[in-house]
Amino acid sequence: MGNRADLAAMLLKIVSVGDPVLRQKARPLKPEEIQSSHIQDLIAYMRETMHDAPGVGLAAPQVGQPLQLAVIEDKTEYHKNLSAAELKERERVPVPFHVVINPEIELLTPAETAFHEGCLSLPGFMAVVPRALAVRVTCLDEHGKSKTIKASGWYARILQHEIDHLHGRIYIDHMQSETFSTLENYQKHKKH
């Protein structure tokens, strides 16, 4: 990795709510596109942008690209402000970096497990969002290879959140509206 200026050149602008790209259905990538330098570079830049934010997922529409592509990684260091009880309650474990392209999602449980969520495209706010506790996702990876992901707990929540972005949906579309809060008030009044 080069100097800080090189890193800054790799960071993409995260678009905010109100940008039309966040409300349109992203287009699938063709297998031959996935191997292109454009898409491989986009994946690398999205990974750096997600780490810099920091976030656990980033969908291409969030960086202005209406493509069915998302990067995901839930690092151990992101768990340090949560107690063992909170980690257990959320079923949150580290998830290594990976890419999902053209995902199809199947909810394996009803969407009734509710926790606070935030979004890099709606910075400074959180709300309680009910999600399925377990999902199955069929998709392509960054090499264009087919894969199936069976996820539960927080990982299932991340997948649902990012795949929603690929269909023009944002967590506020599913939130329990009375729980919508600034991040500051969430931290001050810490509920779940």
Q: What is the pLDDT of residues 127-164, one digit of tens each?
A: 999 999 999 999 999 999 999 999 999 999 999 999 99
CA nearest 61: which of 119, 106, 113, 20?
A: 20
Residue ranges per structural domain of the chain: 4-189
Buried-exposed string 88-109: b where 16+ CB fall within 10 A, e elsewhere: eebbbeebeeebbbbbebeeee
Q: Please give the CATH number for the structural domain made up of 4-189.
A: 3.90.45.10
pLDDT in the model for residue 2: 46
- Count how many residues are written for the chain: 192
pTM of the model: 0.93
- Residues of the chain with pLDDT > 90, as a percent, come to 91
Average confidence (pLDDT) over 177-183:
95
Instruction: Find tokens 């495209």 and name the residue.
Output: 121
Q: How far is CA 29 from its chain centroid?
A: 18
Task: Kindly write down the DSSP assignment for every residue of the chain, as one continuous string.
Answer: ---HHHHHHHPPPPPPTT-GGGGSPPBPPPHHHHTSHHHHHHHHHHHHHHHHTT-SEEEGGGGT--BSEEEEEE-GGGGTTS-HHHHHHHT---EEEEEEEEEEEEESS-EEEEEEE--TTSTTEEEEEEEESEEEEEEE-TTS-EEEEEEEHHHHHHHHHHHHHTTT--GGGTS-GGG-EEHHHHHHH---
pLDDT digits (tens, 9 = 90+) for 11-49: 999 999 999 999 999 999 999 999 999 999 999 999 999
Instruction: Indicate the pLDDT class of residue 192, thresholds 50, 70 and 90.
Output: very low
Instruction: Give the CA angle between residues 92, 97, 147 to the nearest 5°.
Output: 95
Q: Is 162 a catalytic residue?
A: yes
What are the beta bridge partners of residue 95?
74
Q: How far apart are CA 111 and CA 42, in angstroms?
A: 31
pLDDT at 3 over 50: no
Average confidence (pLDDT) over 90-102:
97
Q: Given 73, 162, 178, 184, which residue is catalytic?
A: 162
